Amino acid sequence: MKCDICPHDAILRSIYCPRCRPLVATKAESKKRAAALIQDYDGQIDGFRCRWTKLVLDTNDRYGPLSLCFDHIIPRKSSALATSSILANSMKSDLGPEEFPLAIKHLALHHAGQPFDRDIIGFIYWAEQPIRLAAPLLGRALFPAERTSAAISKCDICSEPSFPHSIYCPRCRRFVFWGGHDHLPRVKALKMAWWPELRGFLCYYTGVLLNLMDPRNPWYMTYDHRIPGNDRTQVMAASWINSMKTSLSETEFWAVIKELARYLAEGGEFNRKVVRFKYWNRACSSTSAT
């Protein structure tokens, strides 16, 4: 008997072959996974292609950026699934199927010099997800690194009125002491992002004014490492950009965005040679549908 998904012979007492069976082996979504695999199977290569990039997917390595996983087409558990690479799944994150290509297109245009329109993407499904990491609400106790005996009246980052006996204002100190012991790279990132005319912080990758109050907002301000794992390369970035960038360096991120935009405009296949995935973090990869 043949496999229900591909032309290979099925395992005894199974409707799937040895390759396909582990891919659909889940009680909750086996039928939806099988449907996705059938749609994305390419008989010419006897393999599966990513729905979003048409790249041939790796079914042997569970953790690589081009490994096969499943993506909820609409970011809801009830949604149908698409066969995807871990890279595309991570980059799509909580974006809808119409929002993802729109985001790629306008990020590529921005990188080429066009201002990014923050209203171009609706982020319809973003607020439905669990609250992401947020800057802590600090009490009145001071950290040694911010304490000063001098009469400081202005924040060292934004020049707003400082917190009593601190070199930072109440707003900035929340983000300065958000995780980790070495706060100086975060101070540098905040100073670089501060825009006095707007009295706010701009996203390093889009130039858009960031949200500081609502962790559910896709434009909520987060720290991103331009080089993954290197704290000295931290910049301020919108939550959705941070999520999309995953374990890519800044250079790799823009290379992927540019090539994805080309593929979406011209068709064909994503050129996997544009990026080496030098910093890909296997620990953050998963073959689970998201």
pLDDT tens for 20-73 read 999 998 777 899 999 999 999 999 999 999 999 999 999 998 889 999 999 999
Please count the structural domains in the chain. 1
Q: Which residues constitute the domain of residue 166?
A: 99-245
Strand 194-195 to 200-201 pairing = antiparallel
Does residue 125 sit within a domain? yes
* Distance of alpha carbon 65 from alpha carbon 168, whole angstroms: 40
Q: Where is pLDDT greater, at 289 or 57?
A: 57
Q: Using an 8 Å Cβ cutoff, are 41 and 259 in contact?
A: no
**pLDDT tens track for 117-163:** 999 999 998 865 555 667 776 777 888 888 887 777 899 999 999 99
Q: Which residues pair with 224 in a beta bridge?
A: 235
Q: Where is pLDDT greater, at 152 or 230?
A: 230
Residue 171's pLDDT is 92
Does residue 236 sit within a domain? yes
Does residue 121 sit within a domain? yes
Does residue 79 sit within a domain? no
* Distance of alpha carbon 192 from alpha carbon 35, whole angstroms: 48
Angle at 64 between CA 60 and CA 69, to 5 degrees: 70
Q: Residue 222: in which H helix or E strand, if any?
A: strand 221-225
Does residue 73 sit within a domain? no
Does residue 113 sit within a domain? yes
pTM of the model: 0.88
Does residue 108 sit within a domain? yes
Does residue 282 sit within a domain? no
